[in-house]
Structure 1
Amino acid sequence: MTSPTTREPYSYRVDPAVPDFEDSGPITFMDGECVLCTFGARLIARFDKDNQFKICRVQTPLGQSVLAHYDLSIGDPESWLLLVDGRAYTSLDAMIRAGRLVGGVGWLLQPLRILPRKLQDWLYLRLARNRYAMFGRTDMCAVPDPRLRAKLME
């Protein structure tokens, strides 16, 4: 299995299983049924002053095909994926990078970079595997926030 971060930039563009999509800015692929992920999507929508981010739920056909390209699945705890300039990032690394790019309260994630990678991975996996039990389920599309709706990709 190839790690998402070791794939060539924009490799999904030549994958016939991945439909064409607008990728000129950062795109987060996240669980649209997770309360915590929906909260993160709202923060991105609120603090993305340059209006550069797009958000795609992993439950959509586009989300599923992009995850499959990177050997991830919806049920995989590492399914939080960030594409920036065609490069893929997953897990806590993706969240930290997204926080830096979006600004605002996203900068609060930056101190996590000093943690050793193994500890970052351990923390992220504990949270990701238990996200439904800890925070519950929701439907990101049911959120009436117009800023968030404008960023959603299908």
Structure 2
Amino acid sequence: MIIVFDAHCLLCSAWVQFLLKHDRRRVFRFASMQSEAGAALLAQAGLSVTRLETLLLVDGARSWQHTAAIFRVLDRLGFPWKLAWIMWPLPAFMRDAAYRWCARNRYRLFGRSDACFLPAAEDRLRFIDSKVDALNP
């Protein structure tokens, strides 16, 4: 499973760091939307890098956005994170509206870095840079 994220966003980078710490089975790989790989995955899902308001979770030919992506990621982390599904009964239009508001305002609320997030040496292999690797996991 590949997570496409905004490497300039401090909230998004913190999310990736959280996943690196808690993904003990090493299920997830990562591609920043600023990379060739991330841009290719976004395009494949019909999304544009400009004005992006979601992270993207890609699993083969399937992809998820907004809160559906978050729930699936937390589910794969196992207990206690999979308890997030308790929020699933909330209507998607409400969950996703709150998510999109946060995403639109992420730089103002959480900050922005001029430099992209750089993973620790032991995690570098989990990050995808090339378009070829992204489209042929």
1:92-136 deviations in Å (ceiling 9; x for gaps)? 110111111123563353333121111011111110000000000
TM-score, structure 1 normalization: 0.74
Q: Does 1:127 align with 2:102?
A: yes
1:37-65 deviations in Å (ceiling 9; x for gaps)? 11110111111111121011010011111
Note the aligned Cα RMSD (angstroms): 1.8
Which 5+ residue runs of structure 2 have no aligned equivalent? 130-137
Which 5+ residue runs of structure 1 have no aligned equivalent? 1-25
Matches within 5 A, 1:95-106: 95-103=70-78, 106=81
Q: CA deviation at 1:146?
A: 3.8
**Percent identity at matched positions?**
27
Q: State the alpha-carbon separation in 1 of the partners of residues 54 and 97 from structure 2.
A: 15
Matched residue count: 127
**TM superposition outliers: structure 1 runs of 4+ over 6 Å:** none
Q: Give the secondary structure class of the aligned counterpart of 1:88.
A: strand
Question: What letter is aligned with 1:56?
Answer: A
1:4-53 deviations in Å (ceiling 9; x for gaps)? xxxxxxxxxxxxxxxxxxxxxx1101111111111110111111111121
TM-score, structure 2 normalization: 0.82
Change in CA separation of 1:101 and 1:64 when aligned onto 2, cut-off 3 Å: same
